[in-house]
Every structure is written in C-alpha cells, then in structure tokens.
Amino acid sequence: MLLLAINMTDKTDVLQGTLDLMVLKTLDTLGTQHGYGIAQRLQQVSDDLLRLNQGTLYPALLRLEQRGWISSKWGTSENNRRARFYTLTRAGRRQLQREADDWQRMASIMSRLLGEPGTPS
C-alpha cells in the first residue's frame, strides 16, 4: 500500500498528504536536515521498498514552507558543501500531531476492516 502511494505521490491530495506527513515526521525525528538527508532517511526506514523520485521532494518542501510548517535557510553540509536546511516550525509540529492522529485512526479502521474474515466462496 505504501509503495503504491509513493508511486502516485503527485497524483492525489490524499497521497500528497502522505508525503507531507512523511517529510514532517522525518524532520521531527532528525531535526534540521537538507533535502538529500530527508530522502535518505525515507529510503532507509522503508528498507528501500519505497521507490521515490527524490526530486519530487522539492515541490513538496516548497509547499510545506509556503504553509508555514517548515522553514529553511542556507547552510553548510557535513562535507562542507552549501546546502539548504529545513526545520520543523511550531505550526509544523502541531500539523504533524494532527496528521499522525488522523493517519493512525484511518490505519486502525483499515486494519479492522481488512482483518474481517471473507465469506467462503
């Protein structure tokens, strides 16, 4: 299900929201991070099951920033390169909380629904 979602990232709002939630959570976990770092982290936690066109992160990051959930500024990376670093804002943290709750609720509904035994054919 997750795989499917990522392949269709920019197709629907719900799925766009999924990517937003993943980015917000990643920044929550890692703290300030650049785009590459966020992509690596997503790859890592999904055990490479997630085939993400990593470039699609950038329009998403821009959107999150426009909504005031993250902020960014230019800085220097661990290998001394110029990179843009993203930080979760307070509004972003609240948003993360809200979306995570929604996601949990939906996931539990889905797992309950899918867990029901089918009728014997």
Partner 1 sequence: MTARELWRRFAGALGRGPRRGELDDELTFHREMLEADYRARGLDGGDARRAAALALGGGAQIAEAWHDQRSLPLLDSLRQDIVYGVRVLRRSPGFTLSALLTLTLGIGANTAIFTVLDAVLLRPLPYPDADRLVTVGDRGADGDSTNIGWATMADYRAGSRSFDDLALMRSWAPTLFADGDAEALPAVRVSWNYFRMMGVHPAIGRDFTADDDRPSHWHVLLVSDGLWRRRFNADPSIVGRVVTMNDVAYRIVGVMPPSFEPLDAVRYFNARAELWAPIGYDLQGDSSCYSCRHLRGFGRLRRGVPPGQAAAELDTIRDRIRREHPTEIDAASVAVVPLRRALTGAVQRPIYVLMGAVAFVLLIACANVGNLLVARSVTRRQELALRAALGAGRRRIARQLLTESALLGVGGAALGSLFAVAAVRALAAAAPVALPRLEHVAVDARVLLFTGAVAMITAVAFGLLPAWRGAAADGRESLASGGRGRVAGASRTRAVLVVADLALAMVLLAGAGLMLRTVAALAVADPGFTADRVLSAQFSLVGEAYAEDAAVRAFQSQLLQKLRAIPGVATAALADQIPFGGNDDCRGFHAVGHMKANPEEDPCIERYGVTPEYRRLMNVPLVAGRDLLESDTDTAQPVILISQATARAVFGFDNPLGAQVRMGSATRGPWATIVGIVGDVHHADVTAPVTAAMYVPEQQLTDSFLVAVVKTTGRDATTVAGPVRAAIRELDPKVPITQVAVVPDLVAGAAASQLFVTRLLAAFAAMAVLLAALGLYGLVSYGVTQRTREVGLRMALGARRGDVLRLVLASGASLVFAGVAVGLGAASLTTRFLGALVFGVSPVDPLTFAAAAALLCVVALIAHWLPLRRALRIDPAIALRSE
Q: Angle 13-99-94 (CA atoms, 0-180°, nearest 5)?
A: 125
Tell me how far apart the alpha carbons of residues 77 and 75 are, in angstroms, rounded to a whole number: 7
- Is 21 a binder of partner 1 (CB under 8 A)? no
Using CA atoms, how far residue 17 sits from 2, 113, 115, in Å, is: 13, 22, 25
Q: Name residue, tokens 């699609």.
A: 56
Q: Is 49 in the site for partner 1 (CB under 8 A)?
A: no
Q: Could you say which of 2, 44, 81, 87 contacts partner 1 (CB under 8 A)?
A: 81
From 24-32, 81-89, 98-106, 113-121, give the range in contact with partner 1 by CB under 8 A.
81-89
For residue 36, the minimal CB distance to partner 1 (Å) is: 5
Interface residues toward partner 1, by CB under 8 A: 10, 34-36, 39, 53-56, 58-59, 62-63, 66-68, 77, 81-84
